[in-house]
Amino acid sequence: MGSDSKKVQWQEGDMTVTRTCSWTAPGCHDGCSVLYYTKGNELIKVEGDPESQYNFGRLCMRCLSAPELVNDPNRVKWPMKRAGERGENKWERITWDEAYDIIEEKVRSIWKDYGPESIVTAIGTGRNIWSLVPKLTYSAFKSPNFAMGFLAGDSCYLPRAAAMGTMIGDFFIVDASQLDPRRYDNPEWKLPECIIIWGNNPIISNGDGFLGHWIVDMQKRGTKLIVVDPYLTWFASRADYWLQLRPGTDAAVGLAMLNVIIGEELYDKDFVKNWTYGLEQLAERVKEYPPEKVEEISWVPAEKIREAARFFAKAKPASVQWGLAIDTQRAGVSVANAICALVAITGNLDVPGGNHIIRTAFGVDRLAHVSSDWGLAELSEEMRAKRLGVDEYPLFKYGLCATARGDSVLEAIETGRPYPIQMYWMETTNTFVNTACDAKRVYAALKKVPFVVVVDPVLTPSAVAHADLVLPASMSVERDSLRNWWWPLRSISKVTQYEEAKTDEEIVLDIGKRLNPEAFPWDTVEDMIDWALIPAGVTFKELEAKTVMWPEPHYKKYETGMLREDGEPGFNTDTGMVNLYQDIFVEWNLDPLPSHMEPPYSPVSTPQMMKEYPLILTAGSRQWEFFHSEHRQSATLREFHPNPRVSMNPETAAKYGIKEGDWVWIENNIGKCKQQAVLDPGWDPRVIHGEHGWWFPEREAAEPTLFGAFESNINNLTTMCTTGPTGYGAPLKNTICKIYKAE
């Protein structure tokens, strides 16, 4: 360590302890404050920082197992160039300079022969690269096509972000007192009387910068829960109301709750009058969704919907903690619109203990956050208009996290229209193994792309099947970086180095300097981080010395002009109000109000198919041990969870002659996969659940095995290009299937 280092470090016996924050790799949505214990260059153990007002010393089992992944001898050690055919797993070790030479030459020749738009970059979920890869795409490759991989319908947070964008103009998050270091003792904060947990299991997933245990903390202080989930989760089992709905019918349930709240005039009349637009039209629409009708659609008893709606409307303050299952349906944007309306009309927007309107602490969002527009302004109007998907789906231009649409990228690769794709850059996505639906279709499509680069710490099935170049990425303990999703602002400090791995920051800066040096004016990553920190008024070294910075929170910002650029009171929308009715949707030929939409395959959409595929399949609920397709290398985590599991009600199992632990085929018209049965009365007998992300690093890498990436892959059964009319939201968690015992 250099003498100018400002890291917070001390010795304990023969170990050095560093206080910092952990993000990715391996993957995580959270950034828990940690103590790293190292001996020389080796990470020995990780502990939760007991002084942290973020995670209060807590850590999940994945972070506690980090040394196993960090020290894994099978990680990618140096840049590698494909030696054999794609899929043969034959590689030649090359230097970083050789790798960069290849990339530079390819990019320049694609610019000349096809145009920059023929280059697509792909990321997965909110890892510590979300703002970097946009910068690489727009500024270095000069392409508009930054995509959330092949995630069908961009069905992770982006439907919610699009809905919030046009309806509220800002993001919101449950105010669990995380805005102030005094936390639950902050006198300005109020304990929510009620929280709805909707399509989310935050105790396992800690999604989108929200730590699930904060809800447990609030329950201990008296907060009551309503849970909207087809499964009896830990929270559902402790809720006052559990609405066990049929997967993919959330919009109907939301509209029925609005029907009750508006019909019984339980809404906040002052807020609605002063700060919303279109209640009359919404009131007309929700008349189409009386609880009795919605009971038929959703299987949730009408009386339960009524009681839950009244309980929520009368609780002050109250909030909604929402999750992925909102997005994973064709009606994703509608579901999100209905939920935004519930939060708004009950007067819970931006009040203490409600749903807080949130921007990044100190406005630091480069490197630190999941913003997707860094560098976008450098592209011409004409180039931006070439972004795949925006022609057909204009909402993709306006969402708070706009991307090229994954399904449209797939269609472009398959058909060469509107233009052929020449290069595909994967940085944090294990495509057909996990991110994409219809695994075989995406696998086949990527074989057609002439030049594919993978940047990953691990040699994944995606790298073996498709990569021409593999670049070794550093893990969290090996990188200097920032964390600011949402609050507080923290530094991430490098404490070890793995072989020749480089951080995503280094890789993007190196390539940027070669292809467009004016847009990358920093000499070092530290310079770049210092630049990103200008709004916070500190340097990286100064932040490292503090480890954390909290800005001052503000409530009811719509009253004080803090949300709009013109400084006027109101929301950051076209009307200045919360748009319960969306004029702009009319312009785009979209329904301006939320509505229910059946999944493409369901008892209602395809009744004739239910004879053959009688069960509803929901998939990919988060597991304690894994982050998507990651962590399968860890012997400890695999001891807890050795194989993929399909869960079903014991009644369902008995009907199909299946016993606990049997290997079971899950099959539908798209494909099939094999998982091991778990009998669980928490599921409705008509619904089963399959896990996502499975491959087996212990198996043969080369094709056709590809680490067993197709054997238990639940996305063998899901579909690409079946989104709703907004282009957002796809049925990842609501299709149909049959099951039978595997011999």
Ligand X SMILES: Nc1nc2c(c(=O)[nH]1)N[C@H]1C(S)=C(S)[C@@H](COP(=O)(O)OP(=O)(O)OC[C@H]3O[C@@H](n4cnc5c(=O)[nH]c(N)nc54)[C@H](O)[C@@H]3O)O[C@H]1N2
Write out the residues near ligand X by the rule CB under 6 A: 24-27, 29, 124-125, 127-129, 149, 151, 156, 198-201, 204-207, 228-231, 233, 245, 247-248, 250, 323-325, 427-430, 433-435, 455-458, 460, 473, 504, 618-623, 626-630, 692-693, 714-715, 718, 732-734
Residue closest to ligand X (Cβ): 124
- Select from 44-52, 118-126, 133-141, 570-578 the region that touches Mo ion (CB under 5 A): 118-126
- How far apart are CB 589 and Mo ion at their closest, in Å? 28
Contacts of 151 (CB under 8 A, 6+ apart): 124, 406, 435, 436
- Determine, following the binding rule CB under 5 A, whether residue 435 of this chain makes contact with Mo ion: no
- The strand pairing partners of 572, in sequence order, are none
What is the SS3 assignment for 478? helix
Q: How far apart are CA 743 and CA 67, in angstroms?
A: 38
Q: How far apart are CA 380 and CA 369, in angstroms?
A: 25
What is the SS3 assignment for 211? coil
- Determine, following the binding rule CB under 5 A, whether residue 206 of this chain makes contact with Mo ion: no
- How far apart are CB 58 and ligand X at their closest, in Å? 14
**Residue 350 contacts which entry, Mo ion, ligand X, none (Cβ below 5-8 A, type-dependent):** none
Q: Which CB sits closer to ligand X, 26 or 347?
A: 26
Q: Which CB sits closer to ligand X, 170 or 625?
A: 625
Q: What does DSSP assign to residue 311?
A: H
- How far apart are CB 89 and Mo ion at their closest, in Å? 29
- How far apart are CB 436 and Mo ion at their closest, in Å? 13
**Residue 460 contacts which entry, Mo ion, ligand X, none (Cβ below 5-8 A, type-dependent):** ligand X
Q: Which CB sits closer to ligand X, 157 or 585?
A: 157
What is the SS3 assignment for 167? helix
Both tokens of residue 198?
A: 């909707």
Closest CA to 491 of 527, 542, 534, 537: 542
Burial state string for 191-229 with b = 16 or more CB within 10 A and e = fewer than 16: ebbbbbbbbbbbbbbbbbbbbbebbbbbeeeebbbbbbb
- Select from 149-157, 282-290, 449-457, 671-679 the region that touches Mo ion (CB under 5 A): 149-157
- Determine, following the binding rule CB under 5 A, whether residue 125 of this chain makes contact with Mo ion: yes
Q: How far apart are CA 428 and CA 399, in angstroms?
A: 22
Closest CA to 462 of 480, 490, 439, 479: 439
- Cβ 208 vs Cβ 172: under 8 Å: no
Closest CA to 629 of 432, 346, 491: 432
Q: Which CB sits closer to ligand X, 61 or 444?
A: 61
Q: Which CB sits closer to ligand X, 231 or 451?
A: 231
- Cβ 30 vs Cβ 490: under 8 Å: no
**Residue 504 contacts which entry, ligand X, Mo ion, none (Cβ below 5-8 A, type-dependent):** ligand X
- How far apart are CB 486 and ligand X at their closest, in Å? 15
**Residue 455 contacts which entry, Mo ion, ligand X, none (Cβ below 5-8 A, type-dependent):** ligand X
Which amino acid, 355?
N
What is the SS3 assignment for 274? helix
- How far apart are CB 630 and Mo ion at their closest, in Å? 13
Residue 12 has φ and ψ, to the nearest 5°, of -130, 105
- How far apart are CB 607 and Mo ion at their closest, in Å? 31
Q: Which CB sits closer to Mo ion, 125 or 348?
A: 125
- Determine, following the binding rule CB under 5 A, whether residue 156 of this chain makes contact with Mo ion: yes
- How far apart are CB 201 and ligand X at their closest, in Å? 4
- 């329904």: which residue's tokens? 591
- How far apart are CB 737 and ligand X at their closest, in Å? 12
- Cβ 33 vs Cβ 548: under 8 Å: yes
Q: Which CB sits closer to ligand X, 366 or 628?
A: 628
Q: How far apart are CA 154 and CA 157, in angstroms?
A: 8
- Select from 123-131, 168-176, 582-590, 614-622 the region that touches Mo ion (CB under 5 A): 123-131
**Residue 201 contacts which entry, ligand X, Mo ion, none (Cβ below 5-8 A, type-dependent):** ligand X
What is the SS3 assignment for 205? helix
Residues binding Mo ion (CB under 5 A): 125, 156
